[in-house]
Structure 1
Amino acid sequence: MKKNIYLLFLLMYSFAFSQMGVSRKYITKNGSNVILRGINYPFIDDGNINLASPSSYQYYLNEASKTGANAMRIAWYLPGTHWRDIQTAGTVQGYINNGHLGNILTYVESKNMIPILEIHNGACGNDWSLFNNSIVPFWKSTQMVSIIQAHQNNLIINLANEFGNARWTGNVTTAMTTFKTNYKNAITQLRNAGINVPIMIDAPDCGTSSSELLSVAQEIYNHDPLHKIIFSAHAYWSDYAPTTANMETKLTEMTNSGLCWFLGEIANNQDGNSCGSIDLSSYYPTLLTKLCQREIGWLAWAYDQDCSSTRELTTNGVFANLTVYGNDIVYNPNYGLKSTSGCGASPSGTLSGSETNIEIKEKVYPTFFKEHIYIETNNESSFQIFGMDGKLLIKGVLNKGKNEIFTANLLKGIYLFKTKTGTYKLIKN
């Protein structure tokens, strides 16, 4: 009986360990902390892409993955509201029902990017009837719950893009009470529906009002029984935090909150009287530098399909055709996605080898060990062994080939064996 109970515990632990989680300022995946650094890509808007044809969408997703991003935020729409539905009724729901959306998420994951699926309807709006009667039911639908559960080891859902108004209402306190009440109700409904993935919540006022979101963030976080809430701001801050000192204040608030904060959109310009009319080209480099210092993740808007051509990373979704902005986001040596300074996009799972096309393969054994752990790898690497209290116990270098690690001094129990490409649960008996 004791053995059966122990095995049941291990199965339950392994299941929980494999799911995406949130630990203070980090996203956790397979037991490792991940700082999301990547791109927004609303490819559903591209008429050149057939979302029912793998060869069509895979080509563009391949191109986007060349940026080195470890996360991709994907815009989606409520059924019947997108131009694809206007052309042919039922098209977007068909992508869901026929498995195409699930296949797209699988392909994004295969390119070593964490998909962040967001509903774009209601952006910058304050229609809580739309939120409660259309957006929340969309996520709770049988088809979407099935898709989310199938991808719960990798997926984040961004419940509603840039939804809600606060500063713009003239009564921030009342507005944020409405905001938190509706989001808490939504979290309850989604968790009761069996949705266990991290939920991203955008700040109000087109995503800009981080301080206002902060005022209710702890209460929202505490309300989630899984404590998997990510708070996201969009840094169109030309009037909200226009100076470096203002920017520092906003980022300090995020860091000091002890919660997981994220900038879901950064860009080189901001909409004003027209699309992209406010220049942020000297603002975002400072912001990205400070985000790296504070280990706050970010996503660039947008890889393609924006109303401002200078705010696109590419001219047509093909990586070879990077814009000036895109080239900086990808290759800047200090904060670019491919930067090796420590501010680049670390892999979300298995190392992709985007620069070298070398796939690191490794084998760690035995799961139940005594005096030694062995690891076979096809490349030089390093390892760390942690106790379940998070304490680092052993670390070292791995040579190409078979490595033997002495573990006789470890007590009986469960340990996490971490390499650059993965984390393994091992048990000393």
Structure 2
Amino acid sequence: MKNLLYLFFLMHCSAYAQGDSLYVSGRFLFNKNNEKIILKGINYSVLDDWSFPSNMNNGNERLSEIEKTKANTVRIQWYNDYGQPTRPTYNLTHLDSLLTRCARYKMIPIVGLWDVTCGNDWATFATRITNWYTQPAVINLFNKHKRYSVINLANEFGYYNYVGGTTAALNTYKNNYKTIITTIRNAGYKQPIMIDAPDCGTNPDVLIAVGNELLTHDPLHNIIFSVHSYWISITGNDATAIANKVQLMVNSNLPFVFGEISNYQSDATACQYVLNYQALLNNLQTQQIGWLAWNWQYDACANREMTSTGLFNNLGTFGLDITNNSTYGLANTAIRLNSTFGNATVLATTALQLHINCNTGNNIGLKIDFNNIPLQQNIILQTSTDNGATWQTQQQFTHTSIDGSIVINNVNITTATIFRAALTNGSRLSNVASCNTTTSNTKIYPNPVNQQIKIEANSIGWATLINSNGKTILQKAITFNNSIDVSHQPNGWYILKIWHQQNNSFSYHKIIIAH
């Protein structure tokens, strides 16, 4: 018994040791704080919306509408190459913005490539899928969002029953995914890899057969298996047959999620079959298995669009049930965990956030962070020398996206100057920043530190841990009394940078980690 407990401890610590991403343990997904997550959300075919990405500049992309359902995850359709030259151009900057907004709305983004949907050519997979994920710019993008993202390698790729259900077909599927897992991990990805079932995503039996081997092959053991429930030929609409199929997944103790659940199945024609999705969702609620509804908008089968306009206030019958059903609806069962997103929560604080660097003498530095700011409104920097009784505009800035930052260097000040940012129409104001308030009463202890470092600050704000190479290791919101866990950091010296919200200034503290 003692040995078994020790083995369990080692397995748990192995998963937790990743530290900076979601991780899988048993059949469940957890965040960095070891909180269990049941994924419940919606598929978003963003690139089938040809008004994207231009609609991001006026705030009309649909994540803000999807957020109103209370979903805790969004599966984002992406393409290496959409394949139609008339489709408006999109790039990684637009994907970065989508992932940032998902974090703001506390929805876990699952990004997948649709280039080889329902395909079986592994050479094409290598050129269209693997090669895309291993580009340095793509790696850097996903590393930026690794704490809360999931990578769904490719939508519905690979055949088994479609090519006779042979042992050779099973091994081809398994061994190719082993190679891909190795390549993706060697590229530096830490977050969970989601692998779709073969036969256009519908075949969980293959995943049950090879899942443990794929998990063992992954050095991080961080894989989620996804099934798409277009099951007319597998279970028909029989609730018992559906429940039996789900029970096999539960018995496997593998981390399953239903990546697509819908009310209709399209085969020879759109909307060919009506699906008993309600029986499936009732069962998944009991079994604590996650799922994502197909689809928010833009589908050849209009009946399975949750909303025909993309707006929450136009939810159709399917959309209303997915959102509001008392047993399985998103609004009643999806749980969002703010801790999943770490320092990304700063995006939700205010539309304008002003930061100040008081360490450069009379010529200070300022940064304005902004989100959801209309392009029609310019951002202005204002100063006051009478403690905010009157304000004068110092500089005015235009912006080309609704999210971003403005850096202002070498601002000349007097000892009485205070700053704020605002919109030209006065509808938004930032916090007030000044270099006049001391932060000398901030206490950091113990130092050297082994496990937890205690912070006693005169105001709430953010703490950033920076290693001796200048790399940010972690960032955490702090209140007046907080602790930061450094037990997983290597021995050495670090800088703890603390932003004090009260006066928007920084203090810096050298600490030693010694285990």
Same fold by TM-score greater than 0.5: yes
Task: Compare relative contact order (CA 8 Å, sep 6+) and give the higher one, 1 or 2.
Answer: 1
Q: What secondary structure, in the 3-state scheme, does the structure 1 residue paired with 2:267 have? A: coil
Aligned to 2:102: 108
| Structure-1-length-normalised TM-score | 0.74
Residue of structure 1 equivalent to 2:330:
337
Deviation at residue 303 of structure 1 after TM alignment: 0.7
Which residue is 2:79 aligned to?
77
| Residues 14 and 157 of structure 1: CA distance in aligned 2, closer, same or farther (over 3 Å) | closer
Answering whether residue 349 of structure 2 is matched by residue 349 of structure 1, we say no
CA distance in 2, matches of 1:173, 1:325: 39
Distance 1:163 1:59, change over 3 A: closer
Shift of 1:246: 2.1
Contact 1:172 1:212 in 2 (8 A): no
- Give SS of 1:190's match: helix
Q: 1:260 aligns with which of 255, 269, 281?
A: 255
Which of 21, 30, 50 aligns to 1:19? It is 21
- Name the aligned partner's letter for residue 163 of structure 1: F
**What pairs up with 1:45-84 in 2 under 5 angstroms?**
45-49=48-52, 51-52=53-54, 54-56=56-58, 59-79=61-81, 81-83=82-84
Does the C-alpha gap of structure 1 residues 351 and 259 become closer, same or farther in structure 2, counting only changes over 3 Å?
A: closer
Give the drift of 1:402.
10
367 and 209 in structure 1: CA distance in 2 versus 1, 3 angstrom threshold: farther
Query: Do 1:65 and 1:113's aligned partners in 2 also have CA atoms closer than 8 Å?
Result: yes
Counterpart CA distance in 2 for 1:26 and 1:57 is 34
The residue that corresponds to 1:121 in the other structure is 115
Give the corresponding residue for 1:309: 302
Instruction: Give the Cα–Cα distance (whole angstroms) in 1 for the partners of residues 148 and 183 of structure 2.
Output: 21
Q: Structure 1: 5+ residue runs without aligned partners? A: 1-12, 353-358, 375-400, 404-412, 416-428
Corresponding residue of 1:42: 45
**Gap runs ≥5 in structure 2:** 1-14, 342-347, 350-442, 457-478, 489-514
1:48, distance to aligned residue in structure 2 (A): 2.8
Contact 2:32/2:340 (CA < 8 Å) preserved in 1? no
How far apart, CA to CA, are the structure 2 residues paired with 1:288 and 1:43? Answer: 25
Report what 1:273 is aligned to.
268
1:251 is matched with: 246
Q: By how many angstroms is 1:55 displaced?
A: 3.1
SS at match of 2:190: coil
Name the SS for the 1:18 alignment partner: coil
Q: Detail structure 1 runs of 4+ shifted over 6 Å in the superposition.
A: 365-370
Any idea what SS the aligned residue of 1:106 has? Answer: helix
Match of 2:148 in 1: 154
CA contact (8 A) 1:202 1:231 kept: yes
* Residues 261 and 293, structure 2, Cα contact 8 Å, conserved in 1: yes
Residues 259, 292 of structure 2: 8 Å contact kept: yes
The one-letter code of the counterpart of 2:272 is S
Cα 1:271/1:348, change in 2 over 3 Å: farther
Quote the Cα distance in structure 2 between the aligned partners of 1:188 and 1:150: 21
After superposition, where does 1:179-194 map in structure 2 within 5 Å?
179-194=173-188
Confirm or deny: 8 A CA contact 2:293 2:322 kept in the other structure: yes
Matches within 5 A, 1:85-234: 85-87=85-87, 91-92=89-90, 95-96=91-92, 99-234=93-228
* Mapped partners of 1:227, 1:168: distance in 2: 29
User: What secondary structure is seen at the aligned counterpart in 2 of 1:247?
Assistant: helix
Distance 1:200 1:14 in 2: 19
Aligned residues: 351
Distance 2:322 2:282 in 1: 12
1:18: how far off?
A: 3.4
| Higher helix content, 1 or 2 | 1
Aligned to 2:230: 236
